[in-house]
Amino acid sequence: MSESSIREDICRLGRSLFERGLTPGSSGNISVRLDDGGYLVTPTNASLGFLDPVKLTRLDADGRLVSGDAPTKEVPLHSALYQTRGTARAIVHLHSTHAVALSMLPEIDPRAALPPMTAYYLMKCGATALVPYYRPGDPAVADAIKGLAGKYSSVLLANHGPVVAGETLEAAVFATEELEETAKLYLLLRGLNPRYLSQAQVADLVKVFGLELASHEL
């Protein structure tokens, strides 16, 4: 896919996320890793609903600005996930309401922020890690991501929002949407003793779809 097509896709999918209320105002950011090792990333203080393909930030493989507007302050977060998650080619970070709410609950397991609620949650997101709160743009969040050793493609930043990597931009967007809907389900069912997928059902999904679930290794 050409760089111009990737730029258009970032703007198109960013607008879709914004228009459906998944990241308000100028919150959230998107990046795509290019074949030369560099990145396209949404600029700082940019609304995902009103991105300009020409103004997207172009960084080289070392994170230096090549062209476009100044990058989001969350570049260290994106870089850390790319460095540790070798299959990642795109990353979506949102401030989606239900995922943020989930990240604030005291009972959440940092190794598996959500139980195995649905097949599609496991298929799209795998297990989801929860990392502690860091102020937005704090370089220390990169160390927290690196500490996960690439085992997770979906991560919740406490009191902040989800960060999801995918092999394509579309895959990362779909997985982020699945994470948000599963967080919503969890909040709706909290305290109602819902029926989750059994270990046998999870094992069947792992076998049939070749899933790699970090929670199985911890």
pTM of structure: 0.95
186 noted as active-site residue: no
Which position has the token pair 């109602």?
192
- Give dist(CA 210, CA 212) in Å, integer: 7
CATH code, domain with 103: 3.40.225.10
Domain total of the chain: 1
- Give dist(CA 44, CA 75) in Å, integer: 10
- Which one is catalytic: 39, 82, 120, 196? 120
Q: What is the pLDDT of residues 126-185, one digit of tens each?
A: 999 999 999 998 999 999 999 999 999 999 999 999 999 999 999 999 999 999 999 999
Q: List the domain range (segments joined by +) for residue 64.
A: 3-216
Q: What is the pLDDT of residues 79-131, one digit of tens each?
A: 999 999 999 999 999 999 999 999 999 999 999 999 999 999 999 999 999 99
- Give dist(CA 135, CA 127) in Å, integer: 24
